[in-house]
């Protein structure tokens, strides 16, 4: 029997109490969906990536459970989980980036097929910087990009998670991609001029 989103929210709110039974029940309810998000994130990684989706799920859950966050809803949890998974992958990219920042960087566009490989780690880091700028300008578009691009959710899944229409997702996705492409192009142009 699958519990509704209300049960997930109730258990998330009780997480700081440290009740082992509640924590186990929460993991049962969210693990499959977290694993799906991690799987979509890992599909963007290079084929021989040393980080596995299961490890990504566990690391993300440990970081989320270790924080004292006032979880507002199931949606709040999963959007935060997608963001945390993105951070984990970016931390990994930073650790494994041997190329000096800005050297040999070619402009990158935001599309669903961009893979995180040793050859384009600089581009992923530029994307992360641009996302931080977008978050300052339009946090909702940044969340949408995290869900669509990093978590790999489709339009319908994103609309459901953010409680907006599919038309709004499509429109905001288009605007966010254009904004990010422009910002990343400016960054690459600046890096080439150094």
Domain that holds residue 118: 5-192
Task: Answer yes or no: pTM beyond 0.85.
Answer: no
Q: What is the pLDDT of residue 103?
A: 45
On the question of pLDDT at 120 being above 80, the answer is no
Rounded distance, CA 16 to CA 25, Å? 14
Per-residue pLDDT band for 193 (boundaries 50, 70, 90) equals low
User: For position 49, what pLDDT does the model report?
Assistant: 63
Kindly report the number of other CB atoms within 10 A of residue 38's CB atom: 28
The number of domains in the chain is 1
pLDDT for position 68: 78
Cβ proximity of 56 and 85 under 8 Å: yes
Provide DSSP, 147-187: IIIIS---HHHHHHHHT--HHHHHHHHHHHHHHHHHHHHHH
């Amino acid at each position: 029997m699958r519990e509704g989103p209300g049960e997930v929210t109730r258990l998330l709110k009780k997480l700081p109490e440290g009740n082992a039974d509640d924590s186990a029940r929460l993991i049962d309810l969210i693990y499959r969906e977290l694993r799906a998000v991690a799987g979509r994130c890992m599909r963007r990684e290079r084929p021989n990536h040393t980080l596995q989706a299961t490890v990504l799920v566990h690391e993300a859950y440990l970081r989320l459970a270790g924080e004292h966050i006032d979880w507002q809803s199931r949606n709040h949890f999963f959007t935060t989980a997608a963001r945390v998974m993105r951070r984990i992958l970016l931390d990994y990219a930073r650790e494994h980036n041997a190329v000096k920042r800005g050297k040999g960087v070619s402009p990158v566009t935001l599309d669903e097929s961009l893979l995180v490989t040793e050859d384009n780690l600089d581009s992923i880091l530029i994307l992360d910087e641009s996302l931080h700028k977008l978050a300052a300008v339009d946090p909702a578009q940044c969340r949408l990009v995290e869900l669509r691009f990093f978590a790999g959710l489709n339009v319908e899944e994103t609309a459901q998670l953010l409680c907006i229409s599919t038309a709004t997702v499509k429109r905001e996705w288009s605007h966010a991609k254009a904004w990010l492409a422009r910002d990343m192009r400016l960054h690459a142009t600046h890096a080439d001029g150094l």
